[in-house]
Amino acid sequence: MPRLYGFDDASRRRLRDDEVDPLRQMVSRALVDLSVSNADVAVWANGEGYRGTLGGEWKDASVGRLFRNPAIAGLRYDDDGELVDAGHPGAITREEFEALLEREKARSTKDAEPAYDYLLIGGGCACGKCTQDLGGARTNSGTPGYRCRPKGKSGSGGCGEVRIDAELLEDYVGENVVAELLKPGIRAQIAKAQAAVRKQVEDLKQDIEDLEGRQSELGRLYGNREISSEALVAGERQIAANLKDIRSRLRYAEQMANFSLGHAKDLVKWWNSAPTASKRAITLLLLEKIEVFPASARGVRTIEPGRVVLHWRTLSGMSGG
């Protein structure tokens, strides 16, 4: 069986560097507009010189199969048909994959709402009250927005007190990012910062390799009856949690490391037409954190002073995180 695009081998233990960015751009182009078909994505990918794992050109069907495979987001379907962590890295976020599924449904239903390509999901912005990451969520009227999800029965979630219109927040962040990019010398600083991020990428990959080695060692110790089943389960649970965290950090570090402004002279025009993956990468590179606080009253359609707080990175001194 051929390997899945974006992965080094059939076991999907490691992402393939030269395929990850093309895959993210394909997904971003598919999500930006419901009128963009899988065939359109295939034409774009072929025009850029990208080919499938067996060297063939992309087709409508092959793009569709790729987009429907949860493994590209590090997920799988369990026996109940629910999406769960597959235990291997993913090239895109869970939210992006769920948006692909939403897009699939929307394309087959005339009156369905089109999928929305959220710019700041997956840790791009956080609740200013409880620090919980904001997720994408439509309002009752169907308008895309971000919200702090309240705690569920499992105990996961946040305070549930922050909601904001997606377009309002993204336009505000975009205006500030473009203004930052227009500052003298910023491209040189970005280049230095990306060099530091590339070092982070290598360090994170080494951390993953070390943890996977510890996983194998646990199995060997249990097989030799040197540790109990309880110790095996506890150790594997801790390693799995660490791997999930590091793989998430690696995914975003790779996006930042691979981003390029190219020769974009009109930055406003570039921002308005660039794939979401590219805009997300530069946003992550420039902003360490985006905090969103509650509006002063329900229905407020402006960014009031202090409602959105942007924490800019010190590019020349980027490290860790």
Report the pLDDT value the prediction gives residue 320, as an integer from 0 to 100: 43
Write phi, then psi, for 314 (nearest 5 degrees): -90, 95
Are 200 and 285 within 8 A, CB to CB? no
On average, the pLDDT of the chain sits at 85
Q: What is the DSSP string of 106-173?
A: HHHSTTSPPP---SSTTTTSEETTT-PBPEEEE-TT--EEEE-PBP-TTS--B----EEEHHHHHHHH
Are 106 and 112 within 8 A, CB to CB? yes
Report the pLDDT value the prediction gives residue 319, as an integer from 0 to 100: 43
Question: pLDDT for 154-165, tens place per residue?
Answer: 677 889 999 999
Question: pLDDT for 61-72, tens place per residue?
Answer: 899 999 999 999
Write phi, then psi, for 297 (nearest 5 degrees): -160, 160
Domain ranges of the chain: 17-117
CATH superfamily of 17-117: Putative Large Serine Recombinase; Chain B, Domain 2 (3.90.1750.20)
Task: Tell me the β-bridge partners of 101.
Answer: none
pTM score, two decimals? 0.57
Assign 72 to helix, strand or coil: helix
Q: Which residues of the chain have pLDDT under 70?
A: 1-2, 108-114, 140-141, 153-154, 262-264, 315-321
